[in-house]
């Protein structure tokens, strides 16, 4: 099943309506937020359940502006008044600095050319972040940057440990390799999904076992400490045939900079 990387609660809530993916890290290891201080949890309030739940990850750009996936803010239940971030926290739903969302700007080409194309959004907070060792702005890659094939990249987040499984209480990270776009597109053509130049495929091809997963949507793909991708979608999680797919930040850097202000 092709899904966006939203958390299990979100998947259960929208299963009848959407096939978007929002995963948890699969095959990873525990990490501390000080290793990834630009990473935040995005939490949504579900009034009919009376709970806040972390559904996506986000990336700090400035004290007011953050970067995530457009599909995180494109579900029927999304309301900026019921959306907040938790920064500087290693543990899911615990501690850190909580700030509420003012408004979002989804990329105008999101979902138009193909499913999950241009899956990029910037959003503003109502109150500014206060920087500390665990809360810092991230660095995004230059416009036009293209990652080589079979290059190691890192995902970090609080997503599920297995596809549709339980979310991790502690931050996880995992290292995988980029997959040639033509090969990835050939695989996804079997399920009528187009992989284009705005996307990065990554995983352990024909092996599987490591990936982002539900709840990791909108979180980072790193090379070193530079954000090169935004977790977007996949077929389940850690599938050996279908690599995970992230939005390629290098296709959108100019748009991000122009709109995050």
Verify whether residue 217 is a known catalytic residue: yes
**Catalytically annotated residue among 217, 232, 246, 251:** 217
**Catalytically annotated residue among 4, 53, 71, 246:** 71
**Catalytically annotated residue among 53, 117, 119, 173:** 119
DSSP single-letter state for residue 167: B
CB 183, CB 198: distance < 8 Å? no
Its sign, for the CA torsion 131, 94, 68, 161, is: positive
Verify whether residue 99 is a known catalytic residue: no
What beta strand segments (E) does the chain contain?
2-4, 29-30, 39-46, 51-60, 65-68, 83-87, 97-106, 121-125, 139-140, 152-157, 172-179, 199-203, 220-223, 226-235, 244-248
Distance CA 156, CA 25 (A): 7
Q: Could you give the dihedral angle defined by the CA atoms of residues 27, 179, 71 and 13, in that order, rounded to the nearest 10 degrees?
A: -40
Catalytic residues: 71, 119, 217
């Amino acid at each position: 099943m092709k899904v966006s990387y939203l958390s299990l609660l979100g998947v259960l809530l929208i299963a009848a309506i959407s096939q978007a993916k929002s995963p948890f890290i699969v095959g990873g290891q525990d990490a501390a937020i000080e290793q990834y201080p630009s990473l935040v949890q995005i939490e949504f309030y579900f009034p009919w359940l009376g709970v806040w739940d972390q559904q996506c990850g986000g990336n700090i750009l400035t004290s007011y502006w953050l970067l995530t996936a457009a599909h995180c803010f494109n579900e029927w239940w999304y309301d900026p008044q019921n959306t907040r971030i938790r920064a500087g926290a290693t543990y899911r739903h615990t501690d850190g600095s909580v700030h509420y969302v003012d408004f979002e700007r989804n990329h105008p080409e999101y979902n138009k050319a193909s499913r999950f194309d241009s899956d990029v959004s910037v959003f503003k907070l109502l109150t500014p972040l206060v920087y500390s060792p665990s809360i810092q702005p991230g660095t995004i890659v230059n416009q036009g940057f293209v990652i080589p094939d079979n290059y190691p990249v890192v995902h970090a987040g609080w997503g599920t440990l297995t596809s549709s499984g339980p979310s991790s209480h502690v931050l996880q990270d995992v290292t995988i390799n980029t997959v040639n776009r033509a090969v990835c597109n050939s695989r996804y053509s079997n399920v009528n999904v187009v992989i284009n130049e705005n996307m990065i495929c990554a995983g352990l091809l024909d092996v599987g076992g490591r990936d982002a997963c539900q709840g990791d949507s909108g979180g980072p793909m790193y090379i070193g400490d530079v954000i090169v991708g935004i977790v977007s979608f996949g077929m389940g999680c850690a599938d050996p045939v279908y690599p995970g797919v992230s939005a390629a930040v290098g296709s959108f850097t100019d748009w991000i900079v122009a709109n995050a202000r």
